[in-house]
Amino acid sequence: MHILENEVLRLEIADRGAELSRVWDKQARCERLWSADPAVWNRHAPILFPFVGKVLDGKYRLEGREYEMKTQHGFARDLDFVCTEETDGRVAQVLTSTGETLRRYPFDFRLLVRHRLDSRNPRLLHVGWEVTNTGDRTMFYAIGGHPGFLPPEGVKKEELLLGFPGNQTLRYISADPAGFAVPGTIRELALREGLTPYGATLPETWIFEDRQVPAVQLVRPDKTPWVTLRCEDFPILAVWAKAEGPFVCLEPWCGRTDDEGFTGEISEKVCEQRLEPGETKAISYSIEFHR
């Protein structure tokens, strides 16, 4: 476990999955991330790679051949990364392809993950990823974040508001109970002062596509922000919570879960990313933990 710390926050980052595993707010004296209680949801803030969501029947297709991917969200969250840099304010960790990953996902890759505390705003965390195609063929992949945030003490998650600064209306699609997207469920979300309640629809998943959401907030009932996630680089933002457990997940995605009944090739998946041999793609988002 690696520690990032300043006068306001203390963060813990595991080598397993390069996962942000704890955020302790020293001033508010409270935990800001979900505890990963396995009876409810055994994650804190997993990295989703090289898939986001599920593939139909645990199988996907590449150049006419079928591969198995039984686990949701790929495999990076369950593998050990190697720490390559560690200071008081920055941690970098790397995952590279192996014989085991190649059996499930036939691409050579390098995934570099950085967590960095902002030097000027002690409540701001930067999360950066670099994906490199180290093989000799075009690589297809998806990547996403999945942090689960706790509400303020004394506030239930159902009482929180979602904030979308600068937006008046948004469109979203839902996921079915099995976790697949249902494109025919496009709905319009009308906002008041950029805010909307989320608790009434729990545990529904909202998926905002087409770069509609450059920033999203969890907002207290008094309309003051509690968490702001900025994700300008990401084409998709998802919001998810379980009926059990006090957390809400704000999820920036490049790529997403399959549509219901999708049987196409991996290259045809919605928002699938691609890299040519030797190419690197960098992407990042930030989380501000307001007091």
Annotated domain spans of the chain? 2-289
Q: What is the pLDDT of residue 198?
A: 85
- Exposed/middle/buried for 242, CB within 10 Å: 0-12, 13-18, 19+? middle
Q: What is the pLDDT of residue 2?
A: 96
Strands 124-133 and 280-289: antiparallel
Please give the backbone phi and psi of residue 148, each rounded to the nearest 5 degrees, phi first. -105, 115
Q: What is the pLDDT of residue 188?
A: 92
Worst-scoring range by mean pLDDT, 63-72, 218-227, 278-287?
A: 63-72
Q: What is the pLDDT of residue 173?
A: 93
State both tokens at 5. Answer: 């710390």
Please give the backbone phi and psi of residue 176, each rounded to the nearest 5 degrees, phi first. -80, 175
Q: What is the pLDDT of residue 281?
A: 98
Is the pLDDT confidence value at 203 over 80? no
Residue 182: band (very low, low, confident or very high) from pLDDT cuts 50, 70, 90: confident
Q: What is the pLDDT of residue 106?
A: 97
Give residue 261's identity as a one-letter amino acid code. Answer: G
Q: What is the pLDDT of residue 178?
A: 81
Query: How confident is the model over 11-31, as pLDDT tens digits?
Result: 999 999 999 999 999 999 999
217 strand-pairing partners: 163, 228
Residue 73: band (very low, low, confident or very high) from pLDDT cuts 50, 70, 90: very high
**Contact predicate 231/262, CB 8 Å:** no
Is the pLDDT confidence value at 184 over 90? no
32 strand-pairing partners: none
Residue 55: band (very low, low, confident or very high) from pLDDT cuts 50, 70, 90: very high
Give residue 156's identity as a one-letter amino acid code. Answer: K
**Contact predicate 270/181, CB 8 Å:** yes
Is the pLDDT confidence value at 148 over 80? yes
Nearest to 286 by CA among 166, 167, 128: 128
* Fold type of domain 2-289: Beta-galactosidase; Chain A, domain 5 (2.70.98)
Nearest to 144 by CA among 240, 57, 69, 58: 240
Residue 87 makes CB contacts below 8 A (sequence gap 6+) with: none
Helix (H, G, I), strand (E, B) or coil at 278: coil
**Contact predicate 141/107, CB 8 Å:** yes
Q: What is the pLDDT of residue 238?
A: 96
* Mean pLDDT across the chain: 95
